[in-house]
Structure 1
Amino acid sequence: CRESVFRYVKEWETMTDRIGYWVDMEDPYVTLHNDYIETGWWMLKTLWDRDLLYQTMRGTPHCPRCVTSLSSHEVALGYRENTPDPSVFVKFQVDPAATSGKAGDKAAVLEKLGAGDFDVFFLAWTTTPWTLPGNTGLAVDKDADYSIVELEDEGGRHRLVLAQALVPANIKQEHTIVGSVKGSDLVGLGYTPLYDPNEFGSEVRRFVHRPGPGGMVTELEDGGDFAPQVIAAGFVSLDDGTGIVHIAPAFGDDDLGVGRENELSFVQPVDLQGIITGSYPFAGKFVKDADEEIMEDLKDRGLLFHRDIYRHTYPFCWRCDTPLLYYAKNSWYIRTSALKDQLVDGNDTINWYPEYIKDGRFGEWLRNNVDWAVSRERYWGTPIPIWRCQECGHTICVGGVDELKGMAGVNGNLDDLDLHRPYVDDIILDCTAEDCSGKMHRIPEVMDAWFDSGAMPFAQWHYPFENKSIDTDGRFPADYICEAVDQTRGWFYSLHALSILLKGQPAYKNVICLGLILDEKGRKMSKRVGNVVDPLSVLDEHGADALRWYLFTASQPGEPRRFSGKLVSETLRKVMLTLWNVYSFFIGYAEIDKFDPSQKPDGWKPENELDRWVLSELNTMIAQVDAHMDGYEPTDAGRRIQVFIDQLSNWYVRRSRRRFWRHEGDADKLSGYITLHTCLVTVAKLMAPLAPFISEEMYQNLVCSVDPSAPDSIHLSEYPVADPSLVDQPLMEATQLAMRISSMGRAARSKAGLKVRQPLANVLVKVRTPEEREYIGQVRPQVLEELNVKNIQVLEDDAPLVRQALEEAGDQTETAVTVDNYTVSLEGGYMVAVDGDISPELAEEGLAREVVHRIQGMRRSAKFDVTDRIVTYYQGPPEFAEVMQGAFSDYIRDETLSTQLVDGTPDTDAASESVKIEGMEITLAVQQV
C-alpha cells in the first residue's frame, strides 16, 4: 500500500507541470506520514472528549468488494438511476402455532383469516431476494385495512392477506375478497420461516430489552427461540408493494430498528464479502448472483406469487462500482447530527460560486445530516486510536504519541514506530479501569479516508503539536477552494464538518463548485461507452492554454461542460491564435522599425482617435476583469478578455495596418506602437492566471527582453490596475455604433451578393437615439472605409425606405430584405441599407481593388518581406490595361509596394498567376526589385 501511494507521483507531477497547476510539489502534505496521522488522532480524541464519537450497531452501507463500511456522503457519490433489480412478491404462510403469546388471544383473527380451513399467506414485496434468508419479521401499517383474498391456482385454493388499497394492483386473476382486518389485528401473528436459520452457519441471536444503568437497554444475545412474527412499523407504504414489508434486521437500518424495538430474532446469512453462507444450494454465491436461485427455489415450493423487474436509484461503491449492501454491524460514528444547526449556520458565512449550491445541494445535505460512519474494516489507513480491555470492555481514546508513551504497560519503543497497522496493533496497554488487571488492545478499524481529507487544514501543519498559530497567522481558514460538484458530499463536507466540530467555524471562506465534464454530445464520459477524452492527447495537440481557456470560459462554474479535442481546437483558433497573430503582427513591424518601449515620452497621451478608443476599452476591461476575479468569476473574466482580443484584432489592428506600413517614422506611428505594446502586455498580465504559458511567452519578449529591471516572470508582476482618466465612454459608444453598422452593412452586402472589394455609392442608416445620430458624424470615415462606400445618409424613423423594409420583414426582428435597389439589414431596432447600383467608375475602382488583393496574395506566396519592393507585370484585354494605367494606377502601386506596373512578361523567372477577374482572363507576375 505504501508503495502504491507513490506509484504515479512522477506522472502526476508531469501532468501538473504540463497543464500549469501552481502547487508545492517539493513539500506536499502526505496523509500517510506519522505527523498527519497524529493530528488525526488528536482530532478524534477531541471528539471523544466531547461525547461526539460513539459505537453502535446500524444497518450500514457496506461494500462487499472493499469489505468495509461507507459513510452517507460516500454513498451519495455513487448513486445510479434506473438500476434494475428483481421485484418479487413472496408468500409467508400463517402459522397459528407460532403466534406470539405476548400478542394476546388471536384466535378470532385466525378464524377470520380461515387459518384452520385454508392455507393462508401474508403477501410481502421485496426488491432484494437475497435478504429473504435473513427474514425474521413482517411489518404492517397498524391503521390500514387488509383484505383477505381467496383465489385458486396450480397450488390449489388458498388465501392471501395484503393491504386493501393494493389488491387491484397485485391480484389480476379471478379472486374473491372474503373479509378484511386492521393491521393492528395482524400484529403478533406468527408464520412459517422461508428458511431454517440454523442452516447458515451462524448463531441465531435475539434482541432483548432489560434494565440498564440509565433505563431500559436493548441487547443482542445468542440463543432463544426463533419465532418470526408480524409487527407494526411506521414506514410501511400503501403507495406500492403489498402493504406488508419483509423485515431482515441483519440488513436495512429500518429493519434493524424495528427488530430492536420488537425483540425480533437476528439471522446473518451473508458474510462481509457478500457471500451467502450455510448449506442451501445458493450458498457460496455472491448475493446478487444468488437472487435467481432463491426465486427459483421459492417458485418450486409454491411461495413465489409473482416476479418482475423494478428500476430504481441504487447506490454503488464510488471506488470500485460494486453494488452496496446495507449490512447490520457495529461501527464507529461521529455525532455530526448533534451540531446540525452549527453546520448550517457556518455554511451561511461561506461564499459559494455558483450561489445556488449554498442553500441547494450543499445546504440540503447539511439540513438532512446524519451521523458520520467513520470506521473502516481495512488494514491501510489512519488507525483509530481506541484501545479496549478484553477483560472488562473499558475503552479509551488516545490523542497523540506522547500520550500513548505515558500509558501504563505500553510495550516497545514508540520513537520510530510507524503508526500504521500492523505495527500500532502490537502496542498493548494496561487497563485503566479500576480493579481490572486486563490488557487493552487497539480496535481493528481504521478511519474513513474522507476523515483524512477533512483533517487537511490542521494535519498538514501537524497542529496542535506544531504550528499552533495557524488560527491567527492567516493559514486557517482557507480563503478559497475549488472542486467538482460531487464533492458537496465529499471533500467540501468533510472539511466543513470537522472544522465546525473542532473549531466552531468553517474551513474555507470562498468555494468555486464546478459542474461535471461531459463528452462532446453532452453525455457522461464512460470507458464502457468509449467516449472518454484523454486530456494528454488534447494537451499534445492543442496546448495547455487552449484546454485551460476552454474549461474556464465554456460555461459558468456550476454548469456541466462538454469537452472534446474539437471544442478545444475552436478555442485555440478563436482566442489563442487570434491573440498570437496580433502579437506576431506587432513583433514583425516593431523589429523592422526597431521600436523600443522606452521611447514612450513622459506624460504621453494618445491623440489618434483609434488609440484613444482602444486604450479606453482596455482600461474598461481591466476594471471589469479585476472585479470578476475578485468576485471568483473566472468565466466572466475570461469571456471579457476574449471580447477585447477580438476588438483588438478585428478593429484596432485591422484599422491601424496602414499606420504601421508607412516607411517613414512619425509621432502617429510611434503612438500606434506604444498603444499596441501597452495592450499586449496588459492582456498578457490579465490572462496570466488563466493561460499561463502564452502570457509568459509574450511577457518575456515584450517586457523582459527590453527591461532588465522587470520581474523575472509575468506571474511575479503586479496585476493591472485601470486608469479611469483614459476611459472615454462617448468614444466607446460611438465606435461600438460604427462596429454595429459595419457588421450589418457587411451582412446586407453578402445578402445582395456584392463583393467587399467593390465600392458602392451609398449606405443608408437608421439608428435608435438622438445621441447615436450625433455619433454618425464622428464615425462617418470609419463606416465609409469599412463598408467600402462613398456616402452615408441617416434616415428618419418614418422614412419611406424604413417603412417598406419593416413591412417586408414582418415579425422578424433580425433579417435582411430587399427594397427596390437596396438590400436592407435589420437588427435590434437598427437598419442599414446598401445601394446595389454600380456605376462604371465604381466598377473600375472595384477591379483595381481586386487586382491589389491578388498581388498581395502573390507577395505572401512568394514569401516576400512586408517591406520588399517589387515590379508587377500584367497581361490582359485592353480594358484591363486601362485600369492598370488609369486613375487607380497610383493606388495599385502604393498598396502593393510596386515600383512599376509593366504591361508584359518579365525577362526572368518570377512568381506568376493566371486568374479570371470580372470575366477577363488575366496574367499577373511579381518580381522582387
Structure 2
Amino acid sequence: MSRYIPAEGQADFPALENQILDWWSAERIFEKSIEQRSEGPDWVFYDGPPGTNGKPHIGHMLQSSLKDLWPRYKTMQGFRVLRKAGWDTHGLPVELKAERELGIEDKSQIPAYGVEKFMEYCRSTVFRFKGDWEQSIRRIGRFLDLSDPYATLTNDYIQSDWWVIRQIWDKGLLYRDFRIMPYCARCGTTLSSFEVAQGYQDVMDLTLTARFPVVGLERTYFLAWTTTPWTLIGNTALALNPELDYVFVEVDGDTLILARELVESVLDGHAFRLVKTVKGRELDGMAYTPLWDFFAGPDTEGRVPHHALMGDFVTAEDGTGIVHLALYGEDDYRMIKRDNLPRIQHVDETGHFIEGCGPYTGRYFKADGLDLEILKDLQSRGLLQHKHKHTHSYPHCYKCENPLMYFARTSWFIRTSALREQLLAANAEINWYPGYIKDGRFGNWLENNIDWGVSRDRYWGSPMPIWSCACGKQLCVASKAELQQYVSQPMDQELDLHAPWIDYVEVSCPDCSARMTREPYLLDCWFNAGLMPWGQFGYPAKPGSEALFENQYPADFICEGLDQTRGWFYTLLALSTILTGRSSFRNVICTGLIADKDGRKMSKTLGNVVDPGELFERFGADAVRWTFYNSHPWGQKRYSDDLVRDAVRDIVIPYWNIYSFFVTYANIEDWTFDGQPGQLSELDRWIRSASVRVIGQVEQALEGYDVYTASTALLAYIEDLSNWYIRRSRTRFWKSEDGADKQAAFSTLYRCIRDLTLILAPFLPFVTETVYQRLIRRAEPGLPESVHLCRWPDVSHEQRDEVLESEMSLVTHAVNLGRSLRSRHNIKTRQPLRKMLLVVGRESDDAFVHRMEGLIREELNVRQVEISRREEDLVHLSVKANYRELGRFFAKRMPEAAAIIADWGMSEIETLEAGGTIDVLGVAVGLEGIAIQREEREGLIVITEQGFTVALDTELDEDLLQEGLARELVNRIQTLRKESELDVTDRIRLQLAGSPAVLAAAEAHREYICRETLAVSLDMVSANGALKPVTLNEEEAAIGLERSAGED
C-alpha cells in the first residue's frame, strides 16, 4: 500500500471539493478553527447582511471569496475570528416582491388587502432563498457561522434599533420636520439622500420656457424655464436674484423680462429692442397672473401667491435668470416658507393631480404625453416662449425604478450635517481599498452630507419607537422592557414588535395618563443595516450581549460593493460616530461590478446571468475564487468562462501537478520525512530562498489588503517551483542509488510543497486541503488535522540568499530569451542546437553562469554555452542619428552631425545606455538622439531585451538532426506509455519501424532512448498493423511496446 495517496490521472476537482465539504462538516473544522484560537486575540469581521428574498449571483461570489480569504489568513496567524452570518430581512424590496406576488398594484391597496395579512406574507418570503444562500456560501468554501445568524426582523434586533435611536434622541440629534423629501409615489415612501444617489438615470424630457403675465403692464411677461412642466400648475411664485441685472425687451410687440446675461441664448437670434435695465430687487413683489386659475387668489389663511420674490440661489448660468417656484423643490419650499405663501400641493401622495386641476385632475405626474399637453395648452393661450428636449440626470426609485418627485412631507431626521467634522475625522482613520475612495467618492459625500431622513412610510420594517400625546409629551423608548413601564397591563412576552401588533399596546402618557399614539413610521432599512455591530448581538437588551459587543467592536475588516459608499459603509460610519465617536470598521475593500464578457450588466432579460452553482460543478470553487483574486477587486470585471478555465490552467493544475510529481516518486522510493534539510545543492538553496521570499511577499500583501499582489507572487513562485526547480531536478528523484543528493531533493521539494500549501490555503481552501490530507499529514502525522487549523509558516530560521536569487534570475532570464528565440523561429525545443551565446553585463556574473552552464544546456537543449561581455560578438552594430530629435539643435549642420554619429561604436553606445551624453558639435547628445541598429551575424538568431543579449547558432549537421529525431521518438514513446496506462516504474520492450533516417537516429542513440523510456530492449522491425504510426520531424515511423514483466 502506498504511503501517500497518489493523484488521479484526471482530477475531478468539483468532486474532490464536495468530499472535502463533507469532511469539514463531519469533523467540525470551522468550529475547531475558532475553538483552538480561544486564547488568541480577536480579529473582527463584519458580514454585510444580504437580502435572502432573491438568489445569490456571481457578484456575491466575488465578495464571498474576499470575505473568506482574510479571516482564514488571520486565523492561521493565531487570531480568533468569529464570522457571524446575518440576513437583511426588512425594507422596500421585500414589500415590492410581496405586492407583485399578491397582485397589489401600489401601497394604497394594502389596507384593503389587510395589513396583518400583508405583513405575514412579507415574513413568509424573506427566507425563501435562504437555503440557496447557505448552499452558495458553503459551496464556495466560505467559513461562516450560519448556525446562529442575526436577522433584522427579530425582536432582539428591533430592540437594538430602538436603543440606537434612543441614544440619538438623547443627544438631541433626532427631530421631526415638514420639508421637501425625495419621494416615490409608486412605493408611497420617502427616500434618503444616499438611496436617491443610487437611482439616477439619464432621461430626455420636454422642457419649456413659459410666459407669466405681469399684473398692470399690458403684454408684459416674466420668462421662466422649467424641466418639469407638470409643476407649473402648482406655481406659487417667481424668484429673481436681487443683485442681477434684468432687462425689459420688446419682441414682436410683447415685452419680456429676463436676466440681461441670458437674452441672446433665450431669444435665439430674434430681433428685440431693449426697453430698460433694472436690478432684480426693483422687481420685488411685482404681481403676475398665474398660468392657470386653479389656485389663484388668497388661500383660506389670506396668504397671497403669484408675485416676484428675491432669492440668492438664482443665477444666470442657464434658463432665464427667473426661477418658477412650486412646492416640489428644497429652495422653492424654503422661499415659500420664508415669505409665508400658500402651500399649493396640486399632486397627492400617489402622484396624481388633485381635484380642482381642471382637465388635469387625476392625471399621473409622469404620465406619457402630459408635458406635451401642458405645452400645447400654454401655446394656445400665447404663454409659451420656447420649447426643446433636454437630456438630464433624473432621480428614480432605486428599487422600483419609477421617477421620483420631491414632495413636502413630515419626516424624522438625524442631524448628521452637525457631525460633518466628526465624520470626516472618523473617515481619516479608515484604510480604504482602493485608497482614492477615502477622500474622493466617500470623502466628498461626507463633505456634502445632509441630514438623514430616517423615517419611512411603509409597513414591513422596524417601527419607530416614539409615542406622542395630545398634551405635547413624547416618549422615545429603548427597549420592550422600558415600554412596559408605560403600559398598565403586562405585555405578551412573545409580542411581535412590528406594526400593527405593537400599535395594539395601549401606552399611557406619564404626564396626563391619556393614551399615546406611536409615530406611524418605520426606520430606514439602511438604519437597520448600519447598526449591525450592536444588532447582531441584540445589544443591549439581550443577556450577554454587552460582553460580545465589547469583544467584537470595531471591525478590522469589511468588504462590499462600491455602491455601498452611499449605503452600508455610510450608515455604519454615521451611527458609530454618533454612538462612539469613531468608525466601526478599520479596513474596507470596495468591489466593482461584474459584467458579461461584452461589458453589459447581467440580467435575466439579456440571458447573460451566471449561476454560481453551475460554475462550481463545472470548474470547482477554487478556480472561481482565483478568478477574483487575480486582479484588483475594485475594477469592473468582465466575466467569461475562459477566466475560470485560465484559473484552472494557471494555478490549480500546476499546484496539483507539483503534488502529483512528488507523491509519484516518494511512493516509489518509500520516502519519509525526517525533518532534516540534507546537503543542499545550489538549486535547493535557491528554491528555499524563493520560498522564504514568497511567504513574506504574500504576508505583506495580505496585511495591506492587496490580493492582486499576493496572487501574482504565488503564481511567480509556482512557476519557479514547477517549471524551473522540478524540471531541473527531475532526474535527482529517480536516481537508482539512495544518495544524499536524492534525499536533499526530496526534503527540499517536500518543504516547498508544505509551505506553499499553507500560504495557498486561504486562497484555494479545497485543493490545498486535499494535498494536505494526502501528503503532508501522512508525512508528518503530528500536524493539525486540517490545513485550516495550521499556523502560518514560520521561516524565521531560514535566511534569504538574495545574491543567489539575483544570479538565478539572470539564468532564468537567459533561458526564457532562448525559448523565445526558438518559438519565434519555429525551432522545436527537442531539436538540439550547437551552441548558445550569452552576453552578460558584469564580470561577477560570469562565475555563476559558468556553474549553471550544464543547467542552461539541458534547459535550452544546446551542446555548448559561450559567455561574452561584447555584444558585437553576436551582432553587427550601427548607429544612426535621430533627425526628428536632433534637427532642431543642429539645423543646417545636421548632415555633419549625422556623419559623426554614424562613426560611433560600442564604447559610445555603452556610454549612452548608461545614461551619459556625448558632445557633438557643441550639443550634448543622449540615447534619445540616436537609433541603434542590430544586424544578426550569419548563422545566428539574436534577441536583446532589458540590456540582455542571447544568440542561438541555428546551423544543423547530421549529428544534431539525429539527436533531434531521437528526442522526438522518446516523446512519442512516453505518450504511448501513458495511453497504455503503464506505471512510471514499469519496464518495457520496444519495437520500431521507420524511415532510414529514423532507424539510424534510433541506433545512434539507443542507450539514451532505452534509459529515458525504461526500455529493456529496442528491436528494429518491419512495419506491421500492431505498431502505432507516428511522424517525427516529417519522417515516418511506427512504435510498438509491451510491459516487460519481472524485469528490472
Normalised by the length of structure 2, the TM-score is 0.79
> What secondary structure does 1:567 align onto?
helix
Aligned equivalent of 2:740: 667
> What secondary structure does 1:246 align onto?
strand
1:303-382 to 2 correspondences below 5 Å? 303-382=383-462
Q: Check whether the contact 1:332–1:374 (CA below 8 A) recurs between aligned residues.
A: yes
Q: 1:905 to 1:503 in 2, by over 3 A?
A: same
Aligned equivalent of 1:775: 848
Q: 1:551 to 1:187 in 2, by over 3 A?
A: same
Question: What amino acid is the match of 2:1042?
Answer: Q
Mapped pair 1:732 → 2:805: yes
Aligned equivalent of 1:617: 690
Mapped pair 1:405 → 2:484: yes
Question: What amino acid is the match of 1:78?
Answer: G
Aligned equivalent of 1:112: none
- Deviations 1:627-648, CA, capped at 9 Å, x for gaps: 2222222222122112111222
Mapped pair 1:162 → 2:258: yes
Mapped pair 1:24 → 2:136: no
CA drift at 1:451: 0.7
Question: What amino acid is the match of 1:921?
Answer: E
> What secondary structure does 1:927 align onto?
strand
CA drift at 1:502: 0.9
Q: 1:843 to 1:914 in 2, by over 3 A?
A: closer
CA drift at 1:300: 3.1
Aligned equivalent of 2:236: 136
Q: 1:196 to 1:708 in 2, by over 3 A?
A: farther
Distance 2:358 2:842 in 1: 88
Q: Check whether the contact 1:58–1:328 (CA below 8 A) recurs between aligned residues.
A: yes
Identity across the alignment (%): 40
Q: 1:169 to 1:9 in 2, by over 3 A?
A: same
Q: Check whether the contact 1:68–1:377 (CA below 8 A) recurs between aligned residues.
A: yes
Q: Check whether the contact 1:85–1:311 (CA below 8 A) recurs between aligned residues.
A: yes
Q: Check whether the contact 1:816–1:826 (CA below 8 A) recurs between aligned residues.
A: no
Question: What amino acid is the match of 2:685?
Answer: R
Distance 2:298 2:554 in 1: 49
Distance 2:643 2:134 in 1: 26
Mapped pair 1:927 → 2:1030: no
Q: Check whether the contact 2:423–2:574 (CA below 8 A) recurs between aligned residues.
A: yes
Mapped pair 1:431 → 2:509: yes
Q: 1:617 to 1:53 in 2, by over 3 A?
A: same
Distance 1:806 1:700 in 2: 62
Q: Check whether the contact 1:282–1:293 (CA below 8 A) recurs between aligned residues.
A: no
CA drift at 1:815: 11
Mapped pair 1:478 → 2:555: yes
Pick one of 711, 730, 742 that aligns with 2:815.
742
CA RMSD of aligned residues (A): 2.6
Question: What amino acid is the match of 1:456?
Answer: M
Distance 2:156 2:683 in 1: 61
CA drift at 1:273: 2.4
Q: Check whether the contact 1:453–1:494 (CA below 8 A) recurs between aligned residues.
A: yes
Distance 1:284 1:528 in 2: 33
Pick one of 601, 626, 631 that aligns with 1:549.
626
Q: 1:602 to 1:877 in 2, by over 3 A?
A: closer
> What secondary structure does 1:856 align onto?
helix
Distance 1:636 1:863 in 2: 40
Q: 1:457 to 1:496 in 2, by over 3 A?
A: same
Distance 1:648 1:501 in 2: 53
Question: What amino acid is the match of 1:402?
Answer: A
- Deviations 1:416-438, CA, capped at 9 Å, x for gaps: 211100011122323334xx464
> What secondary structure does 1:29 align onto?
strand
Q: 1:543 to 1:919 in 2, by over 3 A?
A: closer
Question: What amino acid is the match of 1:903?
Answer: M
Question: What amino acid is the match of 2:281?
Answer: S
Pick one of 965, 970, 978 that aligns with 1:852.
970
Aligned equivalent of 1:102: none
Pick one of 261, 264, 277 that aligns with 2:354.
277
Which range moved further: 673-682 or 843-852?
A: 673-682
- Deviations 1:118-142, CA, capped at 9 Å, x for gaps: x222111111112222210111122
- Deviations 1:40-66, CA, capped at 9 Å, x for gaps: 111111111111000111211112222
CA drift at 1:303: 2.3
Pick one of 165, 189, 214 that aligns with 1:94.
214
1:49-448 to 2 correspondences below 5 Å? 49-80=170-201, 82-96=202-216, 115-116=217-218, 119-152=219-252, 157-172=253-268, 174-179=270-275, 180-197=277-294, 223-249=301-327, 251-278=328-355, 279-289=357-367, 290-389=370-469, 391-407=470-486, 410=488, 413-433=491-511, 436=512, 438-448=514-524
Distance 1:451 1:702 in 2: 50
- Deviations 1:229-283, CA, capped at 9 Å, x for gaps: 111212212111111111112x111111111112222111222222222253333
> What secondary structure does 2:1029 align onto?
strand
Distance 1:367 1:467 in 2: 38
CA drift at 1:853: 1.9
- Deviations 1:591-630, CA, capped at 9 Å, x for gaps: 33333xxx22344334233222222111111111112222
CA drift at 1:705: 4.5
Which range moved further: 807-816 or 124-133?
A: 807-816
Pick one of 695, 700, 715 that aligns with 1:627.
700
Q: Check whether the contact 2:247–2:257 (CA below 8 A) recurs between aligned residues.
A: yes
Distance 2:431 2:648 in 1: 32
Q: Check whether the contact 2:284–2:309 (CA below 8 A) recurs between aligned residues.
A: yes
Question: What amino acid is the match of 2:388?
Answer: D
Aligned equivalent of 2:960: 842
Distance 2:679 2:801 in 1: 12
- Deviations 1:883-911, CA, capped at 9 Å, x for gaps: 2222x21111111222222111489x745
Mapped pair 1:912 → 2:1014: no
Mapped pair 1:882 → 2:988: no
Distance 1:814 1:583 in 2: 48
Question: What amino acid is the match of 1:240?
Answer: D
Which range moved further: 271-280 or 758-767?
A: 271-280
Mapped pair 1:48 → 2:169: yes
Aligned residues: 873
CA drift at 1:927: 2.7
Q: Check whether the contact 1:205–1:267 (CA below 8 A) recurs between aligned residues.
A: no
Question: What amino acid is the match of 1:646?
Answer: E
Aligned equivalent of 1:214: none
Distance 1:732 1:684 in 2: 22
Q: 1:331 to 1:671 in 2, by over 3 A?
A: same
Distance 2:863 2:827 in 1: 15
Q: Check whether the contact 2:874–2:936 (CA below 8 A) recurs between aligned residues.
A: no
Q: Check whether the contact 2:415–2:452 (CA below 8 A) recurs between aligned residues.
A: yes
Aligned equivalent of 1:578: 654
> What secondary structure does 1:477 align onto?
coil
Pick one of 768, 773, 789 that aligns with 2:862.
789
Q: Check whether the contact 1:427–1:442 (CA below 8 A) recurs between aligned residues.
A: no
Q: Check whether the contact 1:412–1:427 (CA below 8 A) recurs between aligned residues.
A: no
Distance 1:205 1:380 in 2: 41
Pick one of 871, 874, 880 that aligns with 2:989.
871
Aligned equivalent of 1:691: 764
Higher relative contact order (CA 8 A, sep 6+): 2
CA drift at 1:912: 1.3
Q: Check whether the contact 1:681–1:698 (CA below 8 A) recurs between aligned residues.
A: no
Q: Check whether the contact 1:56–1:332 (CA below 8 A) recurs between aligned residues.
A: yes
Pick one of 1000, 1011, 1015 that aligns with 1:898.
1015
Question: What amino acid is the match of 1:398?
Answer: V
Q: 1:753 to 1:86 in 2, by over 3 A?
A: same
Q: Check whether the contact 1:813–1:828 (CA below 8 A) recurs between aligned residues.
A: no
Distance 2:1022 2:743 in 1: 40
CA drift at 1:331: 0.7
1:502-651 to 2 correspondences below 5 Å? 502-527=579-604, 529-554=606-631, 556-595=632-671, 599-651=672-724
Instruction: Structure 1: state its 5+ residue gaps.
Output: 97-114, 207-221
Aligned equivalent of 1:818: 936
Q: 1:281 to 1:691 in 2, by over 3 A?
A: farther
